[in-house]
Amino acid sequence: MSENEEFNPSDSEGDETVANSRETNAEEVAEVIAEFEKYRERLVNETMAAAQKAKLPQKVAMAKIEPELAKIDAGLDALRAQLAALTTNN
Instruction: Please say whether the beta carbons of 85 and 42 come within 8 A.
Output: no
62: exposed, middle or buried (Cβ count in 10 Å: 0-12, 13-18, 19+): middle
Choice between 48 and 6, residue whose per-residue pLDDT is larger: 48
Digit-coded pLDDT (tens) for 50-84: 999 999 999 999 999 999 999 999 999 999 999 99
Looking at residue 9, its pLDDT comes to 47
Looking at residue 75, its pLDDT comes to 96
DSSP assigned state of 13: S
Looking at residue 89, its pLDDT comes to 72
15: exposed, middle or buried (Cβ count in 10 Å: 0-12, 13-18, 19+): exposed
Q: Taking the model in full, what pTM does it have?
A: 0.71
Domain ranges (residues) in the chain: 32-90
Digit-coded pLDDT (tens) for 24-52: 699 999 999 999 999 999 999 999 999 99
- How big is the CA angle at 57 (ends 55 and 59), to the nearest 5 degrees? 155
The one-letter code for the residue type at 87 is T
Looking at residue 28, its pLDDT comes to 94
The region that residue 6 occupies, defined by phi over 0 for left and psi between -120 and 50 for alpha, beta otherwise, is beta
